[in-house]
Structure formats: C-alpha cells, structure tokens
Amino acid sequence: MVDVRDLKIGAPGPFLPPWERVKKNAQLIDSLGYDSMAFPDHFAGFVPESIWTPDITPLALIQQSPHTYLELSSIMAACAVVTERVDLISAVTEPIRRHPVLLAQSFMTLDHISKGRAILGIGAGEIENIEPYGLSYSGQVGRLREALEIISKIWQSHEPFDYDGKFWKLKDAVMSLRPSRADRPPRMWIAAHGPKMLNIAAEFGDGWIPTLLDPNDYGRRLKRIESARSKLDKKGEFTPALWHWFILDEEEEECRRLMQTPLARAFALLYPAELWSELGYEHPLGNDFYSLRDYIPMRYGREHMLEAIERVPQEILERFYITGDTDSILGILEEYMKQGLEHIILWNVTGMFDLEKTKPSYHIMKEILEYVKS
C-alpha cells in the first residue's frame, strides 16, 4: 500500500521579475511547507511570440514576451538566502551553455549558500536554448555523459586533473572548492526519457526528474533505471521525481474548457510525434517531431501555429495535462506512487489559460499540500 502523505511535493521556483515579487513568492512556498522549488534554465520560452497575443493568452496583457527568465544560478542563490528549509532544484540545466567545471563550481557555491539544499537537475538540453545562440546541439547525450564524469571528478577530489574526451579536453584543471559537507556533494538529478539517457541517470544520478509521463510509462522507465543501477551495484540514495503540468478546478467541465484554450493547445504540441502516433494522430509539426531536438518557437509564424493549434485533439490534451479537483489529483498521485514516484513538481498552469481561475486553482494546490503534510 502507498500513502500519498509519504510523497514530497515541489512547486516551480519564481523566475520572473521583479525581485521583490520573487522574494515574496519564494518565502511563501517555503512557509507553506513545500519540499522543493524547481527553477527553469531558459533563454527562450515554449511559446512563439507570434501567438503571444491577448486573444491567445491573457498573460500577454501583463507580460511583454514569453521569453522572460531570470538567470538560473543567480535566482537560486537569492532564493536560498531568503528561505530556510525548501530544496532548490535546477529543472533543468545542461552542459552546453554552461561548462561542466562552471556547473560543478556553481552548484558547490549554491550548496554553501543554501546549507545543502541545492540539487543539480541536469539533462541534455533543448535546442531552442542552444542553436539560436551559436552553439551546437549535436552529440548532446555524449556531451552530457562527459560533463557528468567531469563534475563527479571535481566533487570527489580537489586535486588537479586531466580529461581527454570527445567534447572536452582538460589539462591540469583544478577546482578546489569543496562542498559544504565533506561527506556529501550536492545531489544530482538527471532529466531522462530515452534508453541512453535512462542509463546515464542510473550511472550518475542521485535522482531522476523526467516530465510528461503517465503512471504506467513512468513505472516502466523507472524499472529500467533500477535494473541498470543494480547491474552497476549502485546502492546510494536515489529519488524518483517528476515535473508535470496540472489544470486544477472543482468542475470537470471547467478543466475540459481550460484544456481547449489556444495556449493550452499550443503547449500540447510539445508532446513528441511518436506519442501522437501511438494514439492514432499525426503531429501538426511533423511525423518525427521531437520538441527537445526540433522546436525553436521563434521560427514559427502566427498562421502556421494557429493551424497547428486547431489540430490538437482532446485525447492528446488529456494525456498532456493532469486535471481535476483535490480528491482526483490525490488519487492520480497515488497511481504514480504505486509506480515508484517519491517527489512531484506540481506546476499549476490553470491561471495561464484563464486569469480568473488562478486563485481557486491555488486553493486546490493548498488543499493537496495540506492533505499530504497532514
């Protein structure tokens, strides 16, 4: 039997200016009893500016651009200073924009500032944050593996070292900063979905933080990680986590209405074409579309996007979002826990689709949290 009160619950960390609002929200998340705050590491957002207009989303009335993010390590450090107990997770960064030695140093610094509450969430990256800025996205999985080898080496020793890889070649490199606790470097959670990435999570991770998986798929992939960890004789702490998108309302019909709004449909285009095909649909952006590898939203015009949005079927929306009231969400979380989930990042996107639903949806969030923490 699983008990949902054993589940750890996180919320997205505040990442939009102004700082005073960030500070207030971070302290609120901490005081309410959330276990974590998870911070995105983006230059670009998921929505083309061509459809960032009031007829598509009410957010366009209060936020000039969908591509607005405070810098990851700076805002994590600032939020660490003004909070006391909540963990702070990068969800997630990658070693293309940030050199692995810099990542090792940044998260050891955050480890000191937060007194051990920082978690390096890391993956292979998203092309939208890479290719437009003159960087190469090719070989991203191999690059991640090398980066994790370098970071692990730095966290384990302060001695100079060499590294002869395909992507990085280091000679007499040194990083003598040590973690705040000599017996425990910062935790490392890997964002992984495909087989190679799941094996990397097993080899290097203290945890796993995928997104947009249903309970059965989550369980299958976690079993693969656990099998690989067993073969590698990995016995340390490991946290199966998940970042998911939630639409929250007391009425099922309202959840359905919110799912059908244009912005909700636009986000559902992030679902890979392979999964669309499994449900019997063609992805509007291509039969082999995979958002991490292919999606650069700045290059999609308004007409193209509006046509794609219209082609998003209800079944895809129901797979993409977790929806419901307090009781139904608690039941769904129990299903994930049966598959091994221990830590959920609950991203409440309800207000993005209808501003008037913001307050009641956060009331449901509060009820969920209070029940889990009871």
Q: What number is the average pLDDT over the span 321-347?
A: 98
The arithmetic mean of pLDDT across residues 343-353, rounded, is 97
Where residue 183 falls among pLDDT bands split at 50, 70, 90?
confident
Task: Output the pTM of the full model.
Answer: 0.96
12-53: per-residue pLDDT in tens?
Answer: 999 999 999 999 999 999 999 999 999 999 999 999 999 999
Asked whether residue 182 carries a pLDDT value surpassing 90, the answer given is no
pLDDT of residue 43: 98
Angle ∠(36,39,44) on CA atoms, nearest 5: 160
Q: Which of 331, 364, 370, 335 is nearest to 350 (CA)?
A: 364
Q: Hey, what are 370's tokens?
A: 């209070």
Domains of the chain (ranges; CATH) run: 4-252+323-372 (3.20.20.30)
Neighbours of 234 (CB within 10 A): 16
> Quick check: 248 and 361 in contact, CB under 8 A?
yes
Angle between helices 195-204 and 215-231 (to 10 degrees): 50
Q: How much is the pLDDT for 1?
A: 83
What was the pLDDT predicted at 186?
Answer: 95
Burial code of 128-144, b = ≥16 C-beta within 10 A, e = fewer? bbbeeeeeebeebeebb
Task: Give mean pLDDT, residues 262-274.
Answer: 97
- What is the residue type of 38? A
Q: In whole angstroms, what is the distance from residue 361 CA to residue 350 CA?
A: 7
Q: Is the pLDDT of residue 181 over 90?
A: no
3-state SS assignment for residue 348: strand
Q: What is the pLDDT of residue 240?
A: 98
Q: C-alpha angle 215/76/290, rounded to 5°? A: 40
